[in-house]
């Protein structure tokens, strides 16, 4: 009842018109992020992972940069209004989280030390969420965790996979995020290469406008606007395998590349009844604020398309 009341009050207080996807323009400076649309009539639950050293070294891939990010970021998200700024929370992903709450959804963190499970009885079992967001994991998933994640997607969940460039091993355990994701997809007990995606162990920096031309794609042309560019600031590209997964497709490629099965910077796929989106760089999601001492990068506002891409993808993963 509290959630319904909050949504009704917010709906009365403010009503936003979504971006006109035919008139969105880019700005390479600190442009505004995606315009927030009308509150969701079907609120979804988004779970952001913090179990895989997402705050190791200079990383800050959490909603709220507490010493150990807790399940519910503070202050409480029920206090977020139309004018709340992203620094309401302090993590590098706070802008993303605040934007989702403004759309009427709820966000949580899976704290370090919490098991990644699916089909269990725990309060934070993946079955209790619509979308699982994992930004630059730096510790390998266990065999049980791999099975949980893949079965979550197979049975209807959404998985947002974000990697980073080769060699970005924040905790010096021999595995950076590209290798962690490849390990999940290549070595598990559910299905080899279930999504048809593999992360290339490379590092590129460039801004590209080489996007899939289809105007019907809901990630590139969604309720939050039209994605026209993507900037990598040291990220890893991807390759796709349509034999492994017939639904996988590239969405954005390197500027000089043909729109084939390699040199991909953003991809999507379905698996079972679930959905997957993959981006090979964490910089576009970074809002530039976080724990004291971390050097962060304001990628979220650097290009208007960055927030639009992540929000459209989030909503698509949640089947909205």
Distance CA 271, CA 247 (A): 8
Task: Encode pLDDT of 145-193 as tens digits.
Answer: 999 999 999 999 999 999 999 888 777 888 989 999 999 999 999 999 9
- The residues of the chain scoring below 70 in pLDDT are 1-40, 67
Distance CA 256, CA 276 (A): 25
Pair 264, 250: CB distance under 8 Å: yes
Whether 118 is in a domain gets the answer: yes
> What CATH number does the domain containing 159 carry?
3.40.50
Our count of domains for the chain comes to 1
Distance CA 69, CA 47 (A): 12
Share in percent of the chain as helix, strand, coil (round to 5): 25, 20, 60
Domain of residue 254 covers 2-16+38-106+114-317
Whether 66 is in a domain gets the answer: yes
Whether 79 is in a domain gets the answer: yes
Distance CA 145, CA 110 (A): 13
Whether 97 is in a domain gets the answer: yes
> Burial level of 262, CB count in 10 A (0-12/13-18/19+)?
middle
Question: DSSP for 39-101?
Answer: PPSS--EEEEE-SS-TTSTT---SSS--SS--SS-SS-GGG--TT--GGGS-STTHHHHHHHH
Whether 58 is in a domain gets the answer: yes
Whether 23 is in a domain gets the answer: no
Question: DSSP for 220-278?
Answer: TEETTEE---EEEEEE--EEE-TTT-TT-EEEEE-TTS-SSSSSEEEEEEEETTEEEEE
So what's the pLDDT on residue 289? 87
Task: Encode pLDDT of 243-268 as tens digits.
Answer: 999 999 999 999 999 999 999 999 99
Whether 33 is in a domain gets the answer: no
Whether 309 is in a domain gets the answer: yes
So what's the pLDDT on residue 38? 58
So what's the pLDDT on residue 315? 98
């Amino acid at each position: 009842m509290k959630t319904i009341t909050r949504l009704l009050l917010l709906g009365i207080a403010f009503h936003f018109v979504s971006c006109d996807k035919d008139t969105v323009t880019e700005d390479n400076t600190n442009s505004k992020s995606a315009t927030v649309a009308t509150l969701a009539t079907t609120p979804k639950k988004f779970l952001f992972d913090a179990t895989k050293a997402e705050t190791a070294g200079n990383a800050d891939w959490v909603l709220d940069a507490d010493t150990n990010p807790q399940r519910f970021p503070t202050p409480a998200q029920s206090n977020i209004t139309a004018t709340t700024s992203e620094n309401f929370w302090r993590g590098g992903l706070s802008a993303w989280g605040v934007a989702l709450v403004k759309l009427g959804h709820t966000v949580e963190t899976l704290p370090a030390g919490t098991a990644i499970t699916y089909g269990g009885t725990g309060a934070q079992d993946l079955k209790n969420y619509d979308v699982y967001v994992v930004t630059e994991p730096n510790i390998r998933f266990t065999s049980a965790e791999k099975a949980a994640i893949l079965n979550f997607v197979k049975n209807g969940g959404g998985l947002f996979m974000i990697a980073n460039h080769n060699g970005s091993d924040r905790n010096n355990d021999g595995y950076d995020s590209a290798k962690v994701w490849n390990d999940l997809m290549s070595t598990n007990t559910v299905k080899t290469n279930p999504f048809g995606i593999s992360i290339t162990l490379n590092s590129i920096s460039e801004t590209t406008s080489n996007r899939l031309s289809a105007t019907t794609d809901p990630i590139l042309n969604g309720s939050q606007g039209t994605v026209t560019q993507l900037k990598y600031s040291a990220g890893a590209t991807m390759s796709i395998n349509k034999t492994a997964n017939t639904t996988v497709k590239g969405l954005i490629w390197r500027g000089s590349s043909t729109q084939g099965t390699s040199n991909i910077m953003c991809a999507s796929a379905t698996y079972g009844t679930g959905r997957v989106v993959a981006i090979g760089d964490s910089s576009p999601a970074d809002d530039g604020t976080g724990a004291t001492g971390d050097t962060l990068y304001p990628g979220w506002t650097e290009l208007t398309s960055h927030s639009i891409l992540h929000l459209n993808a989030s909503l698509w993963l949640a089947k909205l």
